[in-house]
């Protein structure tokens, strides 16, 4: 019986270590989260419309950057266009894209985490990714997830970056050319998705090359690595962007539309993102309440220090119990574990909200880099430590946009994911290594897993609340989306447009709402996808939009009370875009109104009205 039991145990352990058993847990968790959140991703108003409509425009013969504005690289819209050609122009096609990306990300994120963590801790990291990041929903907008994200370019770029880092580690350890080629290929795709992710990726890898050069002094290796991993991807990406510029130049020789639209608009966006006094970027970075955010980071450090000390004391108590008899020893083990772990969870639940769990991650990334560099320098130049230095630098650079306000919501749903892995590496590998006693290490690791699960449950409690209350289904031939009942006016508006306008009529939604064009199957005749305050960073933009309205004789305009206060000016036509509003008032009449007049009522309720040219 003992031999049979041992063989069974060894077989289970083998499957666990090889990742087959964790894969079952991951797939099960994915299916569960997909089921409870089905169709409850995306927003009828914010950002989602751009991601749905741009492929629709490209399928109709449009050219990116020339015919329609797009802030990021060309890969995401053209890849989604390809999916639409295969599966049809339907909302479910975009869900397929998100599902594929999430599953592939789980695979490579697990494999990357296994470089540093055991199978159990790697499973915890992937479960955290799924529950907290991929399916997290902490805003009513529902756009910060991996299924229907606010920008597909973000999730494509981050998955390509993780794939590059995984293959780069394989290249460091095995030095096979195939891994080198794969790194170059996926680096190109990351850059063609979002340069804000591909750029830090190249910078982190180059820093790793410099560290390797400092240790070995091999100039030839440094030059070759810089050429292959940095210059070649940048050169190929430059050729791709040049292609779009040339196409635009051929179609409009008099004006270099491609260059202006592709680069000048993105320069404007970069300048906006660097303005920390602006409400949106200031809050994202944490500069608006900088002193309070710094104090919070200090409190978070104290909390993690406190639970580490608690678990160490618990381990010390367990080490003393080894001399006692069986019954007393196990009574003390159970009592000690319940007391110290229960105390840590109690403090977390009552005094340590989930919103600040990851506030100290930038500090952790810096600490990991220092530790990895020291070990790489003193322990024979092991590739594992060089890779950890690269990974920690990449994670830190991604977090610069939210340096003092790091959390899993908002842009953290993708920017924080590599940092989350650094978080687990630090607390489940580095910190336990400080403890000399086996009992202290064991209690600490088990206790930290319990605390981590408590944090996951705190995050998912918010997401599940959002999912439960997304009961309003908005449907058309293009698919269905479930959202909050507050959007019932949007449903009325969509039904009215679908039933009372001709399919050949064009429609512009101010200040944002391309989802309406997608679901109603009405063309959007403007170059710009949205008309938020940042669109008008260049004063000439407003004149171009007015001229567009005049030249293209747009028959229908919709005004939606979408507050833009997070960007500063909050009301379209009052605080910004006043010339556009004056043009609309002079040339259009109200045909149908849903709710209160947009932005013109002190109660500030969400409302929409549609106007038609006289």
Average pLDDT estimate for 371-386? 87
Q: How confident is the model at residue 14 (pLDDT cuts 50, 70, 90)?
A: confident
Q: What is the pLDDT of residue 563?
A: 83
Mean pLDDT of 423-435: 92
Distance between CA atoms of residues 603 and 331, nearest Å: 62
Q: Which pLDDT score is estimated for 128? A: 97
pLDDT computed for residue 172 by the predictor: 93
pLDDT at position 158 over 90: yes
Is residue 609 over pLDDT 50?
Answer: no
Comparing 555 with 17, the larger pLDDT belongs to 555
The band of 602, judged by pLDDT with boundaries at 50, 70 and 90, is very low
Q: What element of type H or E holds 291? A: helix 290-320
The least confident of 3-7, 90-94, 198-202 is 3-7
**CA dist 187 to 128, 196, 266, Å?**
26, 12, 20
The predicted pLDDT at position 6 comes to 53
Calculate mean pLDDT across residues 168-188. Answer: 94
List b or e across 191-221, with b for residues whose CB sees 16 or more CB atoms inside 10 angstroms. bbbbbbbbebbbebbbbbbebbbeeeeeeee
Q: Which ranges constitute the DSSP H helices of 321-357?
A: 326-351
Are 406 and 361 spatial neighbours (Cβ–Cβ below 8 Å)?
yes
Please give the average per-residue pLDDT across 35-52, as a whole number. Answer: 93
326: pLDDT confidence band, cut at 50, 70 and 90?
low
**Residue environment code for 490-512, b if the CB has 16+ CB neighbours within 10 A, otherwise e:** bbebbebbbeebeeeebbbbbbb
**Span 433-454, mean pLDDT?**
86
Count of C-beta atoms within a 10 Å radius of residue 614: 7
Higher-confidence residue of 117 and 309: namely 117
Give tens-digit pLDDT for 330-353: 777 778 778 878 888 888 888 888
Q: Specify the pLDDT at position 601.
A: 44
Q: In the structure, what pLDDT confidence band is assigned to residue 296 with cuts at 50, 70 and 90?
A: very high
* Tokens matching residue 111: 């494999």
> pTM for this structure?
0.92
Average pLDDT score over residue span 278-293: 84
* Average of per-residue pLDDT across 116-126: 95
3-state secondary structure of 604: coil
- What is the average pLDDT score of the chain? 87
**pLDDT attached to residue 610:** 45
- Whether the predicted pLDDT of 613 surpasses 80: no
- The pLDDT of residue 264 is 58
CA distances from 468 to 337, 345, 471 (A): 35, 26, 7
Mean pLDDT, rounded, for 211-219: 85
Q: Residues 514-518: what's their mean pLDDT?
A: 93
Which of 370-374, 387-391, 469-473, 609-613 shows the lowest per-residue confidence on average (mean pLDDT)?
609-613
């Amino acid at each position: 019986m003992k031999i049979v039991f041992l063989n069974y145990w060894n077989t289970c352990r083998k499957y666990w270590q090889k990742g087959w058993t964790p894969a079952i847990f991951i797939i099960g968790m994915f299916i569960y989260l997909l089921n409870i959140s089905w169709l409850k991703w995306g927003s009828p108003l914010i950002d989602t419309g751009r991601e749905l409509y741009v492929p629709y425009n490209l399928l109709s013969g449009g050219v990116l950057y020339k015919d329609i504005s797009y802030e990021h690289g060309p890969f995401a819209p053209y890849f989604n266009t390809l999916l639409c050609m295969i599966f049809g122009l339907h909302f479910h096609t975009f869900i397929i894209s998100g599902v594929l990306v999430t599953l592939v990300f789980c695979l490579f994120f697990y494999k990357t985490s296994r470089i540093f963590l055991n199978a159990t801790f790697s499973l915890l990291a992937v479960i955290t990714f799924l529950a907290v990041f991929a399916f997290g929903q902490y805003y009513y907008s529902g756009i910060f997830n991996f299924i229907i994200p606010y920008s597909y370019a973000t999730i494509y770029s981050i998955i390509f970056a993780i794939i590059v880092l995984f293959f780069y580690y394989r290249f460091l350890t095995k030095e096979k050319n195939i891994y080198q080629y794969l790194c170059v290929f996926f680096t190109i795709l990351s850059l063609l998705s979002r340069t804000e992710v591909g750029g830090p990726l190249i910078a982190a890898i180059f820093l790793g090359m410099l560290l390797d050069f400092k240790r070995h002094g091999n100039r030839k290796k440094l030059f070759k690595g810089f050429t292959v991993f940095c210059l070649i991807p940048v050169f190929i990406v430059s050729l791709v962007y040049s292609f779009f510029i040339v196409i635009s130049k051929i179609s409009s020789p008099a004006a270099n539309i491609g260059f202006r639209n592709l680069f000048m608009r993105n320069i404007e966006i970069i300048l906006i993102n660097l303005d920390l006094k602006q409400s949106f970027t200031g809050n994202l970075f944490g500069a608006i309440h900088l002193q309070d955010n710094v104090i919070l980071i200090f409190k978070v450090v104290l909390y993690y220090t406190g639970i580490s000390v608690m678990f160490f004391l618990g381990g010390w108590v367990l080490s003393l119990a080894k001399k006692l008899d069986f019954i007393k020893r196990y009574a003390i083990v159970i009592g000690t574990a319940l007391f110290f772990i229960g105390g840590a969870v109690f403090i977390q639940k009552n005094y340590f909200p989930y919103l600040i769990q990851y506030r100290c991650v930038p500090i952790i990334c810096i600490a990991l880099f220092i530790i990895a560099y020291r070990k790489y320098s003193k322990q024979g130049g092991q590739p594992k430590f060089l890779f950890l230095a690269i990974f920690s630098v990449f994670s830190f650079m991604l977090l610069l946009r939210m340096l003092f306000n790091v959390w899993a919501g908002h842009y953290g749903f993708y920017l924080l994911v590599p940092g989350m892995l650094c978080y687990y590496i630090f607390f489940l590998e580095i910190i336990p290594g400080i403890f000399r006693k086996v009992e202290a290490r064991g209690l600490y690791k088990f206790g930290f897993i319990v605390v981590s699960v408590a944090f996951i449950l705190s995050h998912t409690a918010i997401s599940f609340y959002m999912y439960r209350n997304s009961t309003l289904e908005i449907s058309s031939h293009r698919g269905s989306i479930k959202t909050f009942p507050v959007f019932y006016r949007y449903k009325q508006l969509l039904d009215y447009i679908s039933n009372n306008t001709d399919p050949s009529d064009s429609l512009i939604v101010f200040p944002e709402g391309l989802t309406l064009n997608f679901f109603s199957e009405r063309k959007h005749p403007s170059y710009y996808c949205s008309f938020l305050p940042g669109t008008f960073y260049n004063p000439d933009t407003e004149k171009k939009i007015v001229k567009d309205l005049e030249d293209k004789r747009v028959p229908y305009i919709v005004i939606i009370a979408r507050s833009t206060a997070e960007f500063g000016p909050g009301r379209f036509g009052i605080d910004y875009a006043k010339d556009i509003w004056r043009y609309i008032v002079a040339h259009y009449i109200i045909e149908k109104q849903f709710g209160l007049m947009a932005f013109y009522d002190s109660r500030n309720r969400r409302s929409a009205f549609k106007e038609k040219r006289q």
